[in-house]
Amino acid sequence: MIELIRTNDPVVISFVESLLRDAGIAFFVADQNMSIMEGSLGILPRRVMIDADDRDAARQLLKDAGIEHEARSDDMKNA
């Protein structure tokens, strides 16, 4: 899996989840339970992870939605 976005903005996370779900792209939101550790301050970012094979389609979705700036650069990929 690779990291598509990393943010602590819950609105962006929700929007990206909706885009991916509607497009049929499987995803996983990592670190969403870290708020318990940090005291629910929203300091620690959450990561939306996708299969590497879906990277181009997911990045196009973000671009079409006007939030391509939220995508991690290609050199930030996770294996």
* Digit-coded pLDDT (tens) for 11-60: 999 999 999 999 999 999 998 776 555 555 667 889 999 999 999 999 99
CA distance 68 to 79: 21
**Which among 47, 53, 54, 46 has a CA at the least distance from the CA of 21?**
54
CA distance 66 to 74: 18
Q: What pLDDT is stored for residue 17 in this prediction?
A: 97
In what side-by-side order are the strands of the sheet with 46-50?
2-7, 46-50, 27-30
Q: What pLDDT is stored for residue 41 in this prediction?
A: 61
Coil vs helix vs strand at 43: coil
- pTM value is 0.80
Position 47: which residue type? R
Q: What pLDDT is stored for residue 39 in this prediction?
A: 59
